[in-house]
Amino acid sequence: MLVNGRHYLTVWREGSTVRMIDQNLLPFRFQVFDAADHRATAAAIRDMTTRGAGAIGTAAGFAVAQAAGEAPADAAGFEAYVQAAAALVRATRPTARNLFYAVDRVLAAALAALPDIAGARSAACAAADAMAREDAETGRLIGEAGSPLIQDGARVLTHCNAGWLAFTDWGTALSPIYTAARAGRRAFVWVDETRPRLQGARLTAWELSGEGIDFRVIPDNAAGYFMRRKEVDLVIVGADRIAANGDVANKIGTYEKAVLARENGIPFYVAAPFSTVDVDCPNGDAIPIEERGEEEVLNATGPDAEGTLRTLRVVSPGARARNPAFDVTPAALVKGIITERGVVSAGEIAARARDAARAS
């Protein structure tokens, strides 16, 4: 996608360096962060310099490729080093399926080439690069598959950021809107602010501004107000992991939007590639949910009058907080899942994901 007229990916590899748009600084500062080794890339996933299921999947794949480049040149030492790196990356964030999918795929490519160390290094890079390309391409295809849902003048509510910043490019929930806009259909987007990290208010708002799409940021607790006033035509959100029965884990607050949508007769869609589907996970209760530190709830960060980012406490001194990062929306509340191969019902998502895996 374009930033000031220049095409950027969200995360990319240049030799042994992994480069990424620093999402902790957006929208107040646009800066590229360079991770020189796999430990720096893992740390950038953990502290959310890069975030969003697809983007952390791409970064995770690159981290394992970096580790393959750093590893000792004997087969046993190589394997031990790369396995330890894979474990480090897996431990960064537990919920997004794409991260585990990427680590496993790049690791398998590297180990399959042993004892040829040079071959293992280049196989790891090739697998990571291929996954980055696939992530961008599936986002584009999700845009094509979902764009017929966006009628001219449609008012779409979205939660968190499932745009190009959450993937290598294009995104999921926002991709149908971008595709419809390129086809000349206007869309209006209600952007949930998405406390506590404000991915909607900060990242989705910045993305939509750049794309020239009309939107308003709303407090997280205002969605029901606008739905009941019939000012929302459909909801589209992304997903971090979809269980075999179609239950969907996504950013905290998604579940209540789905309940509100059902109550108000509004179609609730999830947009996600098949790499987000965990066919080994029977249902939403089995999806590991990340709980982040309470300081994200207790404090808020933004620029002061001079533009310096400051963190201020916004909660009563001494109060404690809880900070679950994701929740689970039952399959029954999902009207359809917009995939790279069309819109699929939640109940058939596992079968379709298996078909897609066999075909690739």
Which letter does DSSP use for residue 201 in this model? I
Q: Is residue 59 close enough to count as binding ligand MRU by CB under 6 A? A: no
Choose between 41 and 250: whose C-beta lies nearer to ligand MRU.
Answer: 250
Q: What are phi and psi of 251, to 5 degrees?
A: -50, 140
Kindly name the residue from 169, 192, 220, 240 that is annotated as catalytic: 240
Task: Map residue 194 onto helix, strand or coil.
Answer: coil
Site string for ligand MRU, 166-185 (x = CB under 6 A): x-----x-------------
Which residues have CB under 8 Å from 316's CB, separation 6+?
Answer: none
Choose between 54 and 176: whose C-beta lies nearer to ligand MRU.
Answer: 54
- How near is the Cβ of 128 to ligand MRU at its closest, in Å? 18
Q: Is residue 195 close enough to count as binding ligand MRU by CB under 6 A? A: no
Q: Is residue 339 close enough to count as binding ligand MRU by CB under 6 A? A: no
Task: State the Cα–Cα distance between residues 62 and 279, nearest whole angstrom.
Answer: 24
Q: Is residue 238 close enough to count as binding ligand MRU by CB under 6 A? A: yes
Q: Is residue 257 close enough to count as binding ligand MRU by CB under 6 A? A: no
Choose between 86 and 166: whose C-beta lies nearer to ligand MRU.
Answer: 166
Task: State the Cα–Cα distance between residues 65 and 86, nearest whole angstrom.
Answer: 10
Choose between 160 and 223: whose C-beta lies nearer to ligand MRU.
Answer: 160
- Binding residue (CB under 6 A) for ligand MRU from 52, 143, 176, 284: 52
Task: State the Cα–Cα distance between residues 326 and 341, nearest whole angstrom.
Answer: 26
Q: Is residue 204 close enough to count as binding ligand MRU by CB under 6 A? A: no
Element (H, E) at 359: helix 349-359
Element (H, E) at 328: strand 326-329
Q: Is residue 253 close enough to count as binding ligand MRU by CB under 6 A? A: no
- Binding residue (CB under 6 A) for ligand MRU from 240, 247, 278, 327: 240
- Binding residue (CB under 6 A) for ligand MRU from 128, 160, 287, 297: 160
For tokens 């799409």, the residue is 213
E strand map for 168-226: 187-192, 214-218
Q: Is residue 261 close enough to count as binding ligand MRU by CB under 6 A? A: no
Q: Is residue 340 close enough to count as binding ligand MRU by CB under 6 A? A: no
List the interface residues with ligand MRU, window 71-110 (CB under 6 A). none
Query: What angle separates helix 175-182 from helix 117-146, to the nearest 10 degrees?
Result: 60
CB 105 within 8 A of CB 132: no
- Binding residue (CB under 6 A) for ligand MRU from 121, 155, 241, 251: 251
| Half-sphere CA count of 158, side-chain side, radius 13 A | 34
Which letter does DSSP use for residue 210 in this model? H
Residue 135 among the catalytic residues: no
- Pairing state of beta strands 154-158 and 32-35? unpaired
Q: Is residue 297 close enough to count as binding ligand MRU by CB under 6 A? A: no
Task: Report, as residue numbers or ranges, the catalytic residues.
Answer: 240
Residues in contact with ligand MRU by CB under 6 A are 51-54, 160, 162, 166, 172, 199, 238-240, 250-251, 325
